[in-house]
Structure 1
Amino acid sequence: MTIRVAIAGIRGRMGSTAAAAISEAAGMKVVAALDYKYDGMYASEGTVTAEPAGVRIYTSLVELNEQQQPDVLLDLTDPEAVFPNARKAMALGICSVVGTSGLTIEELGQLQELSEQKGIACIIAPNFSIGAVLMMKFAAQAAHYLGDVEIIEMHHDRKLDAPSGTAVKTADMIAQVRTPHLQGHPDEQVHAYGARGADVQGMKIHSVRLPGLLAHQQVMLGGEGELLTIRHDSFDRKSFMPGVLLAIRESMQRPEFVNGLEHLIQA
């Protein structure tokens, strides 16, 4: 069986890289693109053309489904588009794989509820990098013993959300094993707003946005007289492709809601 994949966000760098990876993977095929414009045109290697090359672009998921019958919608757009896209995809019986961070707790809850009602897969992956997922898992393991934690996440300057979904997910995983407590001096004085970063479940997250970066994160765990730093760096979007392919395949095997690639790998 060939898994038929539609991609939302195919014109972006991540989308075009994913389209190439899926096309080269055994048992998968990109059959269509979902966009907010260019209806009836074609997406090919990150460009748009009127010639019938590449895959047809649709602005309507209903029409796309009627004509191309995809098994999976891979959404690599933004939180504002991802949420309605995933809801509509599951309503149409299409598995949803979301590679965009920034969804709210309420939106995640609604997607989980719809996934359970429809008995169809919805996989949310704040980060598709296998190495990044391992970094998060290792950090959670270390937090059993070193509970004072700060996270520094660094991304390119085109990233919209801060802190990143990966950083928030890391903090969530650590919070499951970390005893809540105040970090730093109890009488700490912050003289510039934001100097100590965002507070996520008692841990501080610092966001860096600079040209030249792609996706990087380090988790710093401090103890008496020691510091453990767990760091991951993605230098090329190809590093995300094994996770993309894994999530697509797993969506056909797991008719359920999955929040985080860590639930799909063993470590």
Structure 2
Amino acid sequence: MIKVIVSGFNGSMGQKAVAMVNQNKDFQLVGVFNPIIDSVDPLDYGLEPDIKVYKDLSKIDIDADIWIDFSIPSAVFDNTKFAISKGIRPVIGTSGLSEEQTTELKLLADAKSLGGIIASNFGISAVLMMKFAQTAAKYFDQAEIVETHHEDKLDAPSGTALNTARLIHEVQQKDEPINPNESDPLGTRGGDYHGIKIHAIRLPGFIADEEVIFGSDGESLTVKQSTTDRASFMKGVQLAIKEVMKRDKLVIGLEKII
């Protein structure tokens, strides 16, 4: 039985993670964490009475195998660092980690031979889209990324969009060309990652969509995915939990294990 703690358990993604753990015969929910809650009574959240509820990171002393994190960008680094320090394998779905923070966390986990994963997206369609985009990048010199999320998403660009840009850049091994004469006083050309433009849209009515548009002389290619229900992410989380239990290093990106 794989014992699991869920951080950010009463958020929209956290609730789905709790439900997924409870529905899986190979997993056992042993604790939940959120520093902004008032009550630590599991019954107040519809949890079984033996589930430990924590609001203070330093008070967590429970035996667990997996730390699932769907908290907030400002907390995820400290949460993950704590989990690693306690020998709990991190499965991190919260975006907002910088490259420097991700590197530090990987070094800490690898030094302890602790498996784990930091994933910008646990949606299978999103991960496949990133893999397809990386393949296409071999044949196109220019690409732009458009990502659309719900209006409450706190970080921009999304971790998925940024990771997609990284994967494209890994293949191209050079900055994409830019027009030195371009004028954009309103910043409408989007963010820039090694010349790859990223456009972030935040609107009600969406959950998570992304498209990568490649252009070359005489042709273009668009790779697009849409998420219409957050429950779809749980297939990737479930896959990740089982996979990291077999590993002794921290993996960056679900695409590395699919």
Class of the TM-score when normalised by the shorter of the 2 chains: over 0.9
Query: Please, what is the CA RMSD of the aligned residues?
Result: 1.8
Question: Which runs of 5 or more residues in structure 1 are unaligned?
Answer: none
Q: Hey, what's the Cα distance between the residues in 2 that align with 1:91 and 1:39?
A: 26
Contact 1:149 1:220 survives alignment (8 Å):
yes
Residue 9 of structure 2 corresponds to 10
Pairwise CA distance, 1:12: 0.6
What TM-score does the superposition give when structure 1 sets the normalisation length? Answer: 0.91
Contact 2:169 2:175 survives alignment (8 Å):
no
Question: Which runs of 5 or more residues in structure 2 are unaligned?
Answer: none
Residue 159 of structure 2 corresponds to 165
Q: Hey, what's the Cα distance between the residues in 2 that align with 1:182 and 1:24?
A: 46
Aligned residue among 104, 109, 113 for 1:115: 109
Residue 208 of structure 2 corresponds to 215
2:221 aligned with 1:228, yes or no? yes
2:92 aligned with 1:98, yes or no? yes
Pairwise CA distance, 1:177: 1.1
Runs of 4+ in 1 over 6 A off after TM superposition: none
Aligned residue among 56, 64, 71 for 1:77: 71
Contact 2:73 2:155 survives alignment (8 Å):
no
2:45 aligned with 1:48, yes or no? yes
Contact 1:147 1:179 survives alignment (8 Å):
no
Q: Hey, what's the Cα distance between the residues in 2 that align with 1:54 and 1:159?
A: 33
Residue 198 of structure 1 corresponds to 191
SS in 2 for 1:221: strand
Distance 1:124 1:182, change over 3 A: closer
What TM-score does the superposition give when structure 2 sets the normalisation length? Answer: 0.94
SS in 1 for 2:171: coil
Contact 2:146 2:212 survives alignment (8 Å):
yes
2:20 aligned with 1:21, yes or no? yes
Identity %: 41
Does 203-212 or 251-260 show the bigger shift? 251-260
- Aligned residue pair count: 257
SS in 2 for 1:243: helix
